[in-house]
Structure 1
Amino acid sequence: MNIFLLRFSTLMVFLFGTMLSLPGFGQDQIVTYLNKHRHIVAEKDSAQYIRTLTPGKEPNAPYKLLEQYITGEVYRTGSAFFFHDRITLVDLVTTFQKDGKKISEEQYVDGVLAGDCRYYYKNGQLKSEMIAPGRVGKGRENLKMDVPPAKLMVFYDSLGTQLVKDGNGQVKDMNDDKDFEEGAYKNGYKDGQWKGTFLKRKYSYTERYAEGKLIEGTSVDSAGTEVSYSKVEERPVYPDGMPALYRFIGMNYRYPRQAYQQRVNGAVVLSFVVDKEGKLVDIKVVQDLGLGTGEEGVRVLRAAPRWKPGKLRGIPVRVSFTIPIHLNLQG
Structure 2
Amino acid sequence: MYRFNFLFFGLCCVFLTASAQRRNTYFIKNNGARVTERDSADFIRHVIEPDPGSEFYKVKEYYLDGTVKSTGFSSKIYPPLYEGLRTTFYPNGNLEETAHFIKGHEIDTATSYYPDGKLYSVRVYSITPEQAKQLLWVAPDEKILTVKDMTGKDLTVNGNGEYIAYDNDFKEILERGQLKEGLHEGVWTGKTKDSSANYTETYVHGKLISGESINAQHITYKYTEAYIQPVFKGGMKRFYSYLASHIKYPPSCYKAGIQGVAQMKFTIERDGTLTDIKVLNAIHPDIAAEATRVMRASPKWEPGKMRGEPVRVAYNIPLSFHL
TM-score (normalised: structure 2): 0.86
Deviations 1:244-293 (A, max 9, x none): 22222222222323333332222211111111111111111211312322
Alpha-carbon contact 2:103-2:132 (below 8 Å) kept? no
The one-letter amino acid of 1:6's match is Y
Alpha-carbon contact 2:47-2:60 (below 8 Å) kept? yes
- The residue number in structure 1 matching 2:97 is 104
Distance verdict in 2 for CA 1:141–1:64, change over 3 Å: closer
Distance verdict in 2 for CA 1:138–1:25, change over 3 Å: closer
- The residue number in structure 1 matching 2:11 is 16
Distance 2:218 2:136 in 1: 39
Deviations 1:161-209 (A, max 9, x none): 2211111112333214846211101111111111111252222111111
Alpha-carbon contact 2:176-2:189 (below 8 Å) kept? yes
> Which structure 2 residues correspond to residues 1-331 of structure 1 after superposition, within 5 A?
6-7=2-3, 9-17=4-12, 27=20, 29=22, 31-36=24-29, 37-41=31-35, 47=41, 48-58=43-53, 61-69=55-63, 72-82=66-76, 87-134=80-127, 138=131, 142-143=135-136, 146-176=138-168, 178=172, 180-222=174-216, 224-329=218-323
Percent identity, aligned pairs only, is 29
Alpha-carbon shift at residue 140 of structure 1 (Å): 9.4
Distance 1:96 1:26 in 2: 31
The one-letter amino acid of 2:275's match is V
Distance 1:323 1:45 in 2: 26
Alpha-carbon shift at residue 70 of structure 1 (Å): 5.0
Deviations 1:51-73 (A, max 9, x none): 313224226x3233323345544
Distance 2:254 2:247 in 1: 12
Deviations 1:287-319 (A, max 9, x none): 131232212211111110111111111111111
Alpha-carbon contact 2:27-2:37 (below 8 Å) kept? no
Alpha-carbon contact 2:162-2:179 (below 8 Å) kept? yes
Distance 1:39 1:200 in 2: 18
Structure 1, unmatched stretches of 5+, are none
The one-letter amino acid of 2:220's match is E
Distance verdict in 2 for CA 1:24–1:271, change over 3 Å: farther
The one-letter amino acid of 2:93's match is G
Distance 2:300 2:75 in 1: 33
Structure 2, unmatched stretches of 5+, are none
Distance 1:119 1:273 in 2: 32
Distance verdict in 2 for CA 1:65–1:71, change over 3 Å: same
Distance verdict in 2 for CA 1:32–1:156, change over 3 Å: same
Distance verdict in 2 for CA 1:27–1:224, change over 3 Å: closer
Distance verdict in 2 for CA 1:119–1:140, change over 3 Å: closer
